[in-house]
Structure 1
Amino acid sequence: MQATDPRPTPDQHATPIADWLRLEQAAGVGRRSVHALLAVFGTPGAILRAGPQALGAHVTPAQARAICAPVTPALAALIDATLAWLAAPDHHLVTCHDPRYPPALAEIPDPPLLLYVSGRVELLAQPMVAVVGSRNASVQGRVDAESFAAALSGAGLCVVSGLALGIDTAAHEGALRGIGSTIAVVGTGLDRVYPARNRELAHRIAAQGCIVSEYPLGMPPLAANFPRRNRIISGLAAGVLVIEAAAQSGSLITAQLAAEQGREVFALPGSIHSALTKGCHRLIREGAQLVETVDDVLMAMRVSPLAGLPQVDAAAPASDDDAILLDALGHEPVALDELLARLALDPGMLGARLLELELAGVVTRLPGGRVQRIWR
């Protein structure tokens, strides 16, 4: 018969990590209340030991009772799952008392209590710039986001974005090419990837950069989570660059939060005819810095532009005829019929030349039979 180990088993529901999770999950107790209690009592453990009467001098009676409530089965399961998650390599729980907690984030009005981090936690100490924009980005917008992010990362800035489709995805892709790498701030628990189409990208970010969330494991992609996580994107960064944003865009929330937090706000202008640039033009009217080159961002953030930054250039036209065609395309999407009228070409010949330029990455086809030149 196997002997029973006489040593007591540690209660993992009474550890410092469990204390933080109990405070985070206390019903009806917001982050501001917990921060206020931490300022008085010092640690989560001291708060939990204080009792309802002592806590009642600083929070409502209902909040005091919620904080002192015993651990429920659901909370115990969350604590167990979190401790198991933390046992995996490169998984971290950074509390607001942790020296790794980003100082800039601690200065915002409503800083997270906890940051769940998957990947290179040391990136939280690096200088950062956020790149955000439309989920329904144009081809040109995605090209701009990727090339700007690559250059910013190449200059040593860590690029922060939100892992959404469109501009965020392009920004992460570009930033992974540089030494600054990238941080994705998400609106779910880190045991989930949203959107699912970015699963492979999320894995690469976790390996080469890091993914950050204030939400506990198991948190689904609730609509209300994403506007709230935007304050973390802007709070981490010294500046926010907006590339393509409609008039009612979530990116404008991030830009507004950045301005309120004292961060620099940059906006890339675009066509007056495009709905995707209305938000950027509004930001510029309201005082955001108009950006034409990466150097505009680097100089405003007091980062020296680096000579020889890698640039992604459009393929050179193969002939004078191609140069004429590209010039006729201009800066805006154009219907094939209109392009034929501008050039007086045979439709078959125009189609063949457009295909060659499309394969070279210089032209893209859009819905509705339109084509557009890609500027890099």
Structure 2
Amino acid sequence: MTSPRPTPVDIDALLALLLAGGPSAPLRTLLARCGDAAAVLSADASTWREAGCTPEQCHALRHPDPARHDRARAWLASPDHHLIGWSCPDYPPLLRDSPHPPLAVFVDGDPSVLWQPAIAVVGSRIPSAGGRDNARDFATALLGHGLTIASGLAAGIDAAAHRAALALPGPTYAVIGTGPDLAYPRHHRELQAQVARQGAVLSEYPPGTAPRSGQFPARNRLLAALALGTVVIEAAERSGALITARLAAEAGREIFAVPGSIHNPMARGCHRLIRDGATLVTHADDILEGVANMAGELAQALQNRLSTPTSAAPETPRPAPALPDPDYQRLWNALGFDPTGMDLLIERTGLTAASLSSMLLVMELEGRVSSEHGRYTRT
């Protein structure tokens, strides 16, 4: 699905735009007008000002910081490290359609995971034992239905959700509030590396960006936008998880909250969300019903990106349709009329769980495949 790796010239030009800082909307406008980052840099200052760039941005575009450029280039030298710009076709579609999308994102791991249908699982950094169990159980159940688990790699509920995905193993990605080369909290460095190996770690901040308080609410808007919905498991009345929920609502995403004891202070934020209109959930099926429409929109974007057929399946199923993409054909051949689990499909096809999840979602929406309890059959 990914496009050819950008050239060093492309990367340098995009980095210059990113490192200019300031509001991203004028820079996105310039990319749309000029066609690519190199053309933006070649434009004169009046063009930048006309698009809305601040004086500080104009100065930074003309005089980039070589040390920050060198650090970013060094990080991007790894084949598993990526920079996905606004004008790149691999830019995640749900993020592109959100209220405040970043100009570009740094990705450690597999960028295609960001196109998977995902649920954000968030909550308290100091949850109860029951809250951790709920995070693990919801994440496990959602993974069994072919969904990806997204979170913010924070302590508590976030970490429990990521670890549940890693244990299966299943696809997961983290959206972080530092540069992609730093871990916060620091003791999550190995957890962050594991998430990158099995899925992806995403940041809008250049390598070397240290943690600052304002960056984490900004991080939350990306997490909220990338996921089909956000489920909150234990949150105090003033909580970062509630910020994520509010941002998810602003992005047009579904909000889910797990109720708890009236005596648990970590449940008060969830009860407030439910009172304000969030969907009360007690099991994964409640979430699946709520995100069905958004999943269809994501599947359509994925079909367009992969150039897969968009027509509905015929009324009389064909036992072995000729599919134009060889990976889809391999998956079809691996499926049968008996329910088949994800582990067996991975073994039969040699494809990753992340790739299979996307392909199965597309085929299910086309009417070729049905799923129940995380097992798939031909229709």
User: TM-score if structure 2 supplies the norm length?
Assistant: 0.73
State how far apart, in whole Å, the 1-side matches of 2:54 and 2:246 are. Answer: 35
1:231 is matched with: 221
1:95 lines up with 2:85 in the alignment: yes
Of residues 148, 162, 178, the one that matches 2:138 is 148
1:66 lines up with 2:59 in the alignment: yes
Structure with higher Rg: it is 1
1:38 lines up with 2:104 in the alignment: no
1:17 lines up with 2:11 in the alignment: yes
1:54 lines up with 2:44 in the alignment: no
CA drift of 1:90 comes to: 1.1
C-alpha deviations, 1:245-280, integer Å up to 9, x for none? 100001001000111111010000001111101110
**What amino acid is aligned across from residue 65 of structure 1 in structure 2?**
C
The answer to whether the 8 A contact 1:156-1:178 is kept is: no
State how far apart, in whole Å, the 1-side matches of 2:290 and 2:23 are. Answer: 36
Runs of 4+ that moved beyond 4 A: none
**SS class of match (2:101):** coil
**SS class of match (1:164):** coil
2:372 is matched with: 306
1:184 lines up with 2:211 in the alignment: no
C-alpha deviations, 1:124-163, integer Å up to 9, x for none? 1111110000001111000100111111112111111000
Closer, same or farther in 2 for the Cα pair 1:47/1:308, shift >3 Å? Answer: closer
Of residues 62, 66, 70, the one that matches 1:76 is 66
Closer, same or farther in 2 for the Cα pair 1:87/1:65, shift >3 Å? Answer: closer
Query: Which structure 2 segments of 5+ residues have no match?
Result: 1-6, 296-369
1:26 lines up with 2:20 in the alignment: yes
**SS class of match (1:37):** helix
State how far apart, in whole Å, the 2-side matches of 1:69 and 1:156 are. Answer: 47
State how far apart, in whole Å, the 2-side matches of 1:100 and 1:60 are. Answer: 26
The answer to whether the 8 A contact 1:52-1:68 is kept is: no
C-alpha deviations, 1:146-184, integer Å up to 9, x for none? 111111112111111000000000010112234641101
The answer to whether the 8 A contact 1:150-1:176 is kept is: no
The answer to whether the 8 A contact 2:151-2:162 is kept is: yes
Greater shift, 270-279 or 29-38, is seen at 29-38
CA drift of 1:66 comes to: 1.8
State how far apart, in whole Å, the 1-side matches of 2:53 and 2:206 are. Answer: 25
CA drift of 1:244 comes to: 0.3
Closer, same or farther in 2 for the Cα pair 1:98/1:180, shift >3 Å? Answer: farther
CA drift of 1:61 comes to: 6.6
1:122 lines up with 2:116 in the alignment: no
CA drift of 1:217 comes to: 0.5
**SS class of match (1:176):** helix
The answer to whether the 8 A contact 1:193-1:199 is kept is: yes
**What amino acid is aligned across from residue 66 of structure 1 in structure 2?**
H
State how far apart, in whole Å, the 1-side matches of 2:286 and 2:8 are. Answer: 51
1:195-210 paired onto structure 2 within 5 Å: 195-210=185-200
State how far apart, in whole Å, the 1-side matches of 2:175 and 2:67 are. Answer: 25
The answer to whether the 8 A contact 1:132-1:161 is kept is: yes
CA drift of 1:305 comes to: 7.0
The answer to whether the 8 A contact 1:246-1:277 is kept is: yes
CA drift of 1:46 comes to: 1.6
State how far apart, in whole Å, the 2-side matches of 1:14 and 1:208 are. Answer: 27
**SS class of match (1:130):** strand
2:127 is matched with: 137
Structure of greater relative contact order (alpha carbons < 8 Å, 6+ residues apart): 2
1:292 lines up with 2:282 in the alignment: yes
2:361 is matched with: none
Query: Which structure 1 segments of 5+ residues have no match?
Result: 1-12, 310-376
1:250 lines up with 2:316 in the alignment: no
State how far apart, in whole Å, the 1-side matches of 2:47 and 2:269 are. Answer: 49
Closer, same or farther in 2 for the Cα pair 1:14/1:211, shift >3 Å? Answer: closer
C-alpha deviations, 1:57-107, integer Å up to 9, x for none? 232572563254233xxx222222222222213111111122221100001
Closer, same or farther in 2 for the Cα pair 1:68/1:118, shift >3 Å? Answer: closer
The answer to whether the 8 A contact 1:52-1:64 is kept is: no
State how far apart, in whole Å, the 2-side matches of 1:43 and 1:308 are. Answer: 42
State how far apart, in whole Å, the 2-side matches of 1:141 and 1:194 are. Answer: 21
Closer, same or farther in 2 for the Cα pair 1:179/1:78, shift >3 Å? Answer: same
State how far apart, in whole Å, the 2-side matches of 1:32 and 1:144 are. Answer: 39
State how far apart, in whole Å, the 2-side matches of 1:193 and 1:199 are. Answer: 5
State how far apart, in whole Å, the 2-side matches of 1:61 and 1:205 are. Answer: 37
Greater shift, 176-185 or 203-212, is seen at 176-185
**SS class of match (1:15):** helix
**SS class of match (2:44):** helix
Closer, same or farther in 2 for the Cα pair 1:94/1:288, shift >3 Å? Answer: same
